[in-house]
Amino acid sequence: MNPSCFSPAIEPRTKKTLTWKDPKTGLEWQCESPGEMTWYKAQEYAKSLLLDEKKDWRLPTLAELESLLDRTKARPEGRPPMREEVPFRDELSYWSSTTFERDTKNAWIVMFDGAYVLSYYKSNLYYVRCVRG
């Protein structure tokens, strides 16, 4: 894991911080995902989240999730990787808050293993990472 989600105070790299502030967008991100859940459960989770003494957490929009990608670089297959400074550099699929306009039973996800942006049923299970700002 990138050192940005660790606190260098006293014992470097042993105490994780709970959030990361993106210097590019100013958004504050949850460092650890609570795991997979439906889009509906993810919305409930975000509304009830108290993290780092803050309560105004929410699911990120599709554009906010995509802001974690580095569109100036490409993997061998041509898709962009996650930006280098992002501390939670996993390759999982995450829910956005953005509903698919043509079928409101679906919402957009970003699959970070290949930077795919797709819509899936809100009843499917995908990972969650909340944001504020």
Please name each of the domains of the chain with its CATH number.
Answer: 29-132 (3.10.100)
pLDDT, tens digit (0-9, with 9 covering 90-100), for 80-108: 888 999 999 888 999 999 999 999 999 99
pLDDT, tens digit (0-9, with 9 covering 90-100), for 37-50: 999 999 999 999 99
Output the CA torsion 2→4→6→12 (10° steps).
90
What 3-state class would DSSP assign to 5? helix
